[in-house]
Amino acid sequence: MNVAAAFLCGLLFALGLGVSGMLQPVKVIGFLDVAGRWDPDLLFVMGPAVGITLAAWMWRRGRPSPWGDQVPAKGRHDLDGRLLSGAVLFGIGWGVAGVCPGPAVTNLSALSPFSLVALGAVLCGVALSFLPLFRPRP
């Protein structure tokens, strides 16, 4: 059941990316080009998603999850260099290529050279996260 639910959520996410046009790297790069020809389309995709997630998070706070964990009642304070460096690298890659992991996987259906290179870059980033330099210290 969990696999089927995860598959349906992924399928719905991919469909949403396609319908909104966010599978096109030029749309993402246009959103990040605030000094040039700014394209606000990504704002209308991310805005409602962030709002819905925030509302659900606040509602679930401190309650048990169907999967056994609880949403933490208090904020976490474990920001570290590993997290921040990963966020910076993700942001740089997203800004340069205009593709993040979701669209990179979804764009595989096109089998274009760009989509293969983009997914390869995502997989390289995942592989880098396993290097001892990026592992948390015990």
What 8-state DSSP symbol labels residue 79?
A: -
Q: What residue ranges of the chain have pLDDT lower than 70?
A: 1, 65-78, 133-138
Of 90, 123, 102, which is closest to residue 17 (Cα–Cα)? 102
Please name every residue paired with 70 in a beta bridge, in sequence order, or none if there are none.
64
Structure confidence at residue 119 (pLDDT):
86
Of 63, 40, 39, 49, which is closest to residue 17 (Cα–Cα)? 49
Structure confidence at residue 97 (pLDDT):
86
Structure confidence at residue 111 (pLDDT):
82
Structure confidence at residue 51 (pLDDT):
92
**Is 60 in contact with 71 (CB distance < 8 Å)?**
yes
Structure confidence at residue 14 (pLDDT):
85
**What are the structure tokens assigned to 92, written together?**
């740089």
Structure confidence at residue 74 (pLDDT):
64
